[in-house]
Amino acid sequence: MSDTAGALQHPWPDLRMQRAGVGLGMWMFLASEVLFFGGLMVSYAVYRSFNEDAFRIAGAHAQIVYGSINTVILLTSSFTMTVALRAATANVRQATLLFLGITAALGIAFLVCKGLEYREDLKEHLFPGPQFPLSPPATAMFWGFYWAMTGIHAVHLTAGIAVVLVVWTLFKRRVIPVQGSTMEGVAIYWHFVDSVWIVLFPLLYLAGRS
Amino acid sequence: MTDAALPFVPPLDIWRGSYLDEGHTIASWLTTTDHKRIAILYALSITVFFFIGGVAIGLVRLELISPTGLFLTSDEYNRLFTIHGIIMVWFFLVPSIPATLGNFLLPMMIGAPDVAFPRLNLLSWYLYVGGAAFTVYVLLSGGVDTGWTFYPPFSSEYSHSNVIPAAVGVFIVGFSSIATGVNFLATIHMLRAPGMTWLRLPLFVWSMYTVSVVMVLATPVLAMSLLLIVAERFFGLPIFDPSAGGDPILFQHLFWFYSHPAVYIMILPAMGVVSEVFACFARRRVFGYAFMVFAMLMIAVVGFMVWGHHMFVAGQSPVADLIFSFLSFIVAVPSAIKVFNWTATLYRGHIGFEAPMIYALGFLGLFTIGGLTGLFLASVPIDIATTDTYFVVAHFHTIMVGGTVSAFMAGIHYWWPKVTGKLYNEFWAQFAAITMFLGFNVTFLPQFVMGWLGMPRRYHYYPDVFQIWHVLSSGGALILAAAYLMPLVYLTWSLFYGQDAGANPWRSTGLEWQTPSPPPKTNFVRPPRVDADPYEYHDFGRTEETGGEARARPQGEAT
């Protein structure tokens, strides 16, 4: 247990409480995030109920191959994140570093894949604007949501990757011990970003294929 | 932690240093993670923004003395009231009590050494001051003319002002709110002192709890609605564009889903403050403590379900109008419970009219006026007649500004001796408190009248018949300005020349008073234990004190 020295932060009385507190704080932040994405998804739901046909036509143009590959990548990253958290709780330092590294790599892979998909989309002028090829007009609405939703999700994922890399470096340099409360918060956040994608996938890629 | 086991009180000179002596450089303040110092940082920055917003509306009120304007173009006029609205709502009222009094007192009231995440607390101040300063720069350099509500399609397509930077600034400040909320919730859940059970929490702590829940759950929706405005304006995504099947009303739904609960973000902390003040200055236990707690929780919950009453004329279905109207009436029930319980707290109390009490009584009056006119507006037919008139303006100013600012001032005066260790000048404080109450009423009662007579809000020019009311209202604003400036002077004066306050000048029973003033960095000399309910002033129906002066006498060092 000597490895946990320095893990206890002001003002916590002990590490168990601190870990629970970090977890609680992160869950509350995620409650906030749920409402954040909730605003977006409710808007999507309202417009889709008004423009069913347009959303079906527009949704058929979403690149489902890229979307599916990305779903697999992100779900796998949640698995490796869980392994990293378990390893950290058990104070197995090497495994924590390894699986955290894989998690970050999978996150980056998702972003690369997303970038390739964006390139395909732009080739077809699917960004709402003068050259937008689809009709009726409400198809542009679907694609507005496509860019907003995937963009905001990508920003969240980028933040997640950055945090994982920072934490990885701190662990590597033994600035903070792996068994502290850090991994708790990081892991919960990562799973959240993953679960947002699980909701976005059917909304964006399956809407035109039902 | 080892101090806890010591069987004796440590020698005085070990703990005489207060949080103010932990460092005197500016750098020590800008890098502090002490919740008390962060509260001071907030207080100073909020005061600056408050006066910028105040000057803006001062100019507007001056302009409105004449039916055809005095010195502003209509464009400047629009920008000025937008500056006033954005600054006062997001950079003053929302953070006012939670970020200053809440930050300072919440950990002390529950017997904790700090908030749960001290560094996050500092980050939230930087987010606040960065986002707010950026927005204020945008507002002053170019300006925004959409009003504080950012309604599309004006904000998304037609306005030529700096909508995007202003929205981004408000968005950033929103994260500061969320961070503060998360921090407070984790603190209250995890760091209560031994014996501090949920139903022993002071009502101010409960108000911080409920307000944190609302901040955490409502603010993100505002963030999203502003982001969608930016997405439409900057990226051209047709989210609210009717030509692509978009609906500008949807923005109003999202916006008010935050901005109505935001009203409760402003008023719940005020309720917490006056509960403390009434109990202390009436020397009474708060009447119906449990009801007070549940009333606040109910306000927080039902407050999320009434946003549609802002949209009675926006083309909502009549069914939706009815539901939102009904729920708006429902939210008046817990508010009324609180008013009656405060009154019952005063009943047969030993009331002292020190400045905090006068401010708190002012709150009670203004909250009642604002609340009752809110019932007018919750009723659909009356609201349709008064939508976008000065009646609405007067209603929400009376409750949000009159109520919240009165309570904020009550809190500042009540805890001033604790925060600074000095006593302010009681006479000037009482004078300012009375002036402020009069100022509020002279400013806003004429607005009720002219609103009822049909004067629309946000209009630059108006028919001559309304001039008398506008002139009265502007005169009231002048009185208010004086009432705001006086505390700046006598409170600053007290910092240098005020008497030492001692640990507990009001003889309050709160945990925050059981420690030296100003408190040491760790808040308490020894970790406290709690073995009594809050507000144990004396038994119901009995007063034991002989004179009001006794309360102003400094007590010895508390342990």
User: Tens of pLDDT along B150-177?
Assistant: 999 899 888 888 999 999 999 999 999 9
Whether A25 and B220 lie within 8 Å, measured CB to CB:
no
- A20: contact with B, CB 8 A cutoff: yes
| Position A179 confidence tier, pLDDT thresholds 50, 70, 90 | confident
Q: Locate A147 and state its tokens.
A: 């860019």
Report which secondary-structure segment, H or E, holds B486: helix B467-497
Q: What are B178-226's pLDDT values in tens digits?
A: 999 999 999 999 999 999 999 999 999 999 999 999 999 999 999 999 9
3-state secondary structure of A67: helix
pLDDT on residue B556: 39
Give the rounded distance of the alpha carbon of B374 from its chain centre.
Answer: 18
Domain interval for residue A192: 22-205
Mutation to test the A interface, candidates B188, B196, B239, B258, most A Cβ within 10 Å: B239
Mean residue pLDDT across chain B: 91
Give the CATH number of the domain where residue A81 resides: 1.20.120.80
pLDDT higher than 70, residue B7: no
Backbone φ and ψ for B422, nearest 5 degrees, come out as -120, 155
Q: Which of A13, A29, A36 is facing B182, going by the closest CB pair? A: A29
Report which secondary-structure segment, H or E, holds A111: helix A93-123
Report the gap between the CA of A13 and the closest CA in chain B (Å).
8
pLDDT on residue A32: 96
Whether B217 and A32 lie within 8 Å, measured CB to CB:
yes
In a domain, A6, yes or no: no
Query: Distance (Å, rounded) from C-alpha B215 to C-alpha B265?
Result: 7
Whether B247 and A46 lie within 8 Å, measured CB to CB:
yes
| Position B39 confidence tier, pLDDT thresholds 50, 70, 90 | very high
pLDDT on residue B157: 85
With pLDDT > 70 as the criterion, what percentage of chain A qualifies? 97
Q: Measuring CA to CA, how many Å separate B330 from each of A89, B373, B383, B533? A: 48, 15, 17, 30
pLDDT on residue B142: 84
- A130: contact with B, CB 8 A cutoff: no
Q: Tell me which residue has tokens 């006598």.
A: B490
Mutation to test the A interface, candidates B3, B103, B190, most A Cβ within 10 Å: B190
pLDDT on residue B28: 92
Backbone φ and ψ for B114, nearest 5 degrees, come out as -170, 180
pLDDT on residue B386: 95
A207: Cα within 13 Å, side-chain hemisphere: 28
| Position A5 confidence tier, pLDDT thresholds 50, 70, 90 | low
pLDDT higher than 90, residue A58: yes
Give the pLDDT mean for A100-125. 97
| Position A122 confidence tier, pLDDT thresholds 50, 70, 90 | very high
Q: Which of B216, B232, B257 is facing A32, going by the closest CB pair? A: B216
Beta bridge partners of B456: B389
Q: Locate B509 and state its tokens.
A: 């029973």
- B243: contact with A, CB 8 A cutoff: yes
Comparing CA positions, the residue from B379, B375, B365 lying closest to residue B395 is B375
pLDDT on residue B548: 37
For the beta carbon of residue B87, count every other beta carbon within 10 angstroms. 25
- A23: contact with B, CB 8 A cutoff: no
Among chain A residues, the shortest Cα distance to B255 is held by A39
- B217: contact with A, CB 8 A cutoff: yes
Query: Distance (Å, rounded) from C-alpha A126 to C-alpha A58?
Result: 9
Query: Distance (Å, rounded) from C-alpha A125 to C-alpha B72?
Result: 46
- A28: contact with B, CB 8 A cutoff: yes
Report the gap between the CA of B243 and the closest CA in chain A (Å).
7
Mutation to test the B interface, candidates A33, A35, A55, most B Cβ within 10 Å: A35
Give the rounded distance of the alpha carbon of B8 from its chain centre.
Answer: 41
Do residues A145 and A40 make contact, with C-beta atoms less than 8 angstroms apart?
yes
Q: Which of B117, B220, B250 is facing A35, going by the closest CB pair? A: B220
- B244: contact with A, CB 8 A cutoff: yes
3-state secondary structure of A57: helix
Report the gap between the CA of B383 and the closest CA in chain A (Å).
27
pLDDT higher than 70, residue B140: yes
Mutation to test the B interface, candidates A24, A141, A143, A182, most B Cβ within 10 Å: A141
Do residues B42 and B445 make contact, with C-beta atoms less than 8 angstroms apart?
no
- A15: contact with B, CB 8 A cutoff: no
| Position A114 confidence tier, pLDDT thresholds 50, 70, 90 | very high
Report the gap between the CA of A21 and the closest CA in chain B (Å).
6
pLDDT higher than 50, residue B465: yes
Most confident by average pLDDT, A13-22, A74-83, B495-504, B520-529: A74-83
Q: Locate B478 and state its tokens.
A: 């002048």
- B33: contact with A, CB 8 A cutoff: yes
Comparing CA positions, the residue from B182, B177, B278 lying closest to residue B223 is B177
Give the pLDDT mean for B249-267. 95
pLDDT higher than 50, residue B6: no
Among chain B residues, the shortest Cα distance to A141 is held by B238
Whether A40 and B191 lie within 8 Å, measured CB to CB:
no
- The second-level CATH assignment, the architecture, of B35-538 is Up-down Bundle (1.20)
| Position B103 confidence tier, pLDDT thresholds 50, 70, 90 | very high
Give the pLDDT mean for B356-379. 96
Report the gap between the CA of B298 and the closest CA in chain A (Å).
19
Domain residue limits, chain B: 35-538
Query: Distance (Å, rounded) from C-alpha B544 to C-alpha B555?
Result: 17
With pLDDT > 70 as the criterion, what percentage of chain B qualifies? 93
Distance from first CA to last CA of chain B, Å, rounded?
A: 17
Report the gap between the CA of A106 and the closest CA in chain B (Å).
27
Among chain A residues, the shortest Cα distance to B231 is held by A148
Pick A19 or A73 by higher pLDDT: A73
CB pairs under 8 A between A and B: 123
Do residues A72 and A162 make contact, with C-beta atoms less than 8 angstroms apart?
no
- B196: contact with A, CB 8 A cutoff: no
Q: Which of A10, A20, A25 is facing B182, going by the closest CB pair? A: A25
In a domain, A16, yes or no: no
pLDDT higher than 50, residue B551: no
Whether B244 and A32 lie within 8 Å, measured CB to CB:
no
| Position A2 confidence tier, pLDDT thresholds 50, 70, 90 | very low
Q: Locate B214 and state its tokens.
A: 């609302």
- B247: contact with A, CB 8 A cutoff: yes
Whether B244 and A46 lie within 8 Å, measured CB to CB:
no
Query: Distance (Å, rounded) from C-alpha B219 to C-alpha B374?
Result: 23
Whether B190 and A37 lie within 8 Å, measured CB to CB:
no
Q: Which of A38, A39, A140 is facing B238, going by the closest CB pair? A: A140
pLDDT on residue A4: 61
Q: Locate B81 and state its tokens.
A: 């009231």
DSSP character string of B22-39: S--SHHHHHT---HHHHH
The DSSP call for residue B527 is: -
Q: Tell me which residue has tokens 């009752």.
A: B372
Give the rounded distance of the alpha carbon of B166 from its chain centre.
Answer: 22
Query: A173-182, B179-188, B256-265, B401-410: which has the minimum mean pLDDT?
Result: A173-182
Give the pLDDT mean for B333-354. 94
- A123: contact with B, CB 8 A cutoff: no
| Residue type (1 letter), B284 | R
Mutation to test the B interface, candidates A36, A37, A46, most B Cβ within 10 Å: A36
Q: In A, which residues are within 8 Å of B254 by CB distance?
A: 39, 42-43
Q: What are B371-411's pLDDT values in tens digits?
A: 999 999 999 999 999 999 999 999 999 999 999 999 999 99
Whether A140 and B112 lie within 8 Å, measured CB to CB:
no
Query: A8-22, B127-141, B190-204, B208-222: which has the minimum mean pLDDT?
Result: A8-22
Do residues B334 and B367 make contact, with C-beta atoms less than 8 angstroms apart?
no
| Position B15 confidence tier, pLDDT thresholds 50, 70, 90 | low
Q: Tell me which residue has tokens 């009159």.
A: B402
Q: How many domains does chain A have?
A: 1
Query: Distance (Å, rounded) from C-alpha B192 to C-alpha A50?
Result: 50
In a domain, A17, yes or no: no
